Amino acid sequence: MSYFDAASSAPLHPVARQALQASLDEGWADPARLYREGRRARLLLDAAREATADAVGCRPDELSFTSSGTRAVHTAVAGALGGRRRVGRHLIVSAVEHSSVLHSAELHESGGGTVTRVPVRRSGAVSAEAFAAGLRPDTALACLQSANHEVGTVQPVAEVAQACGESGVPLLVDAAQSLGWGPVEGAWSLLAASAHKWGGPAGVGVLAVRKGVRFAPQGPVDERESGRAAGFENIPAIVAAAASLRAVRAEAAAEAARLRELTERIRARVPALVPDVEVVGDPVHRLPGIVTFSCLYVDGETLLHELDRADFSVSSGSSCTSSTLTPSHVLKAMGVLSEGNVRVSLPPGTSAEEVERFLSVLPGTVSAVREKLGAPAGPTKTPAASDSVVVDALGRRCPIPVIELAKVIGDVPVGGTVRVLADDEAARLDIPAWCEMRGQEYVGEEPADRGSAYVVRRLS
């Protein structure tokens, strides 16, 4: 089985396993106690904090361990907003932040705060200038991920941090995806990360708050972790997280070069092997191990199941694999195709042979799924007399509305239109993306009795 979903959770690093097993015998006592077992546990916790702070690029007394990366983000957002409440209640985030940030933003709005969501380019990156333009006198906090978790695009954190610093606004960086590859550049104010993203055990988050940043922990006060993370520290897991972070950092330069070559191979060859594919994300400024592409006329859930049967574990941002039945907010913000979306995120140690086998299996798998769904396989029909066609795809999920559009676009003459009636949220994203890929004109969305009517004009 080839595990290609390291962006969700990386396999436990061998060093983490060794450290976890060793510290189970030494780190079980309360580190706040003064007896021998407590002092021993405290030494382990302090050493782990120092090692992690060194990797993050902060002081040990600026770093706390939380129960998860999500908890670190929630604590950071709430604490920073609470500490700067007198400044104002405006929060600024990018449109492609992790859901933990966006959920915190929604909670802030529901409590009377205001939120600006900065749009991104088609590559998935924000413009530093656009982000800076969103800063206001009442901005209490800004949030920007170091790199995107779905498409791997690296964000201009240093430039945004400089703009925030000039405006006196603290910047929170979600570094979950990038911290294993290196420290975050720029004068950030707060940072959150998650150990299981770099091969540490699950259940360990990292929260760094620079000295001088106004921070007011919300909720009941606890004496542990500077009052920022309530509850007894999981010292064995923390020790393992710190040990694995040091280990992956030592291997990062060589492994990054190797994985970047493998993902570049996938980016270049998938469009040549599989027709009607859009590779998404920045082609240059991206993490080493992540490559994401979307396939027209493909049901994402079926595609992932078929790849799993072929012994490949991948993930998807397609609404066809989502419990919410809506496309990934990242793909939606980028304005790219969401149907048939596949994210390949290679863990350290992935071999070239595994990637070659994936590239050999993918074309036949996509073709079989398309055939099962009745996707068009050849030229469109000869133009008919009618200059307008209506496609009723109501009640049908992606990628059926786009498949039906592709089947009938040849039924209208050049200049004619097709109206696709659909009530699947993915159609709002995938029909314009299909037009861009196919060289047709997306006229726009019109209201309908049910769902919406998406109007497409044939140009060729």
Catalytic machinery residues? 320
CB half-sphere exposure, 224, CA atoms < 13 A = 17
Pairing of strands 139-143, 90-94: parallel
DSSP states of 149-173: TTT-BBP-HHHHHHHHHHHT--EEE
**258: three-class secondary structure by DSSP:** helix
- Is residue 168 classed exposed, middle or buried when 0-12, 13-18 and 19+ CB atoms within 10 A define those classes? exposed
Q: Both tokens of residue 447?
A: 């209201």
Could you tell me the two tokens for 404?
Answer: 């039906």
The DSSP symbol for 31 reads T
Judged by phi (left if over 0) then psi (alpha if -120 to 50, else beta), residue 164 lies in: alpha
Which tokens belong to 224? 């542990």
Do the Cβ atoms of 303 and 365 come closer than 8 Å?
yes
Query: Mind giving me the DSSP string for 41-110?
Result: HHHHHHHHHHHHHHHHTS-GGGEEEES-HHHHHHHHHHHHHHHTTTT--EEEEETT--HHHHHHHHHHHH
* Side-chain-side CA neighbours of residue 405 (13 Å): 32
Q: How far apart are the C-alpha atoms of 134 and 166, rounded to whole Å?
A: 13
Element (H, E) at 341: strand 341-345
Tokens in use for 344?
């390949």
Q: Work out whether strand 63-66 and strand 205-209 pair parallel, antiparallel, or are unpaired.
A: antiparallel
Q: Which residue has the tokens 């360990």?
A: 204
CA 183/CA 56 separation, integer angstroms: 5
CB atoms inside a 10 Å sphere around CB 37: 14
Give percent helix, percent strand, percent coil of the chain, each to the nearest 5: 40, 20, 40
Number of C-beta neighbours around residue 207 at 10 A: 28
3-state secondary structure of 124: coil
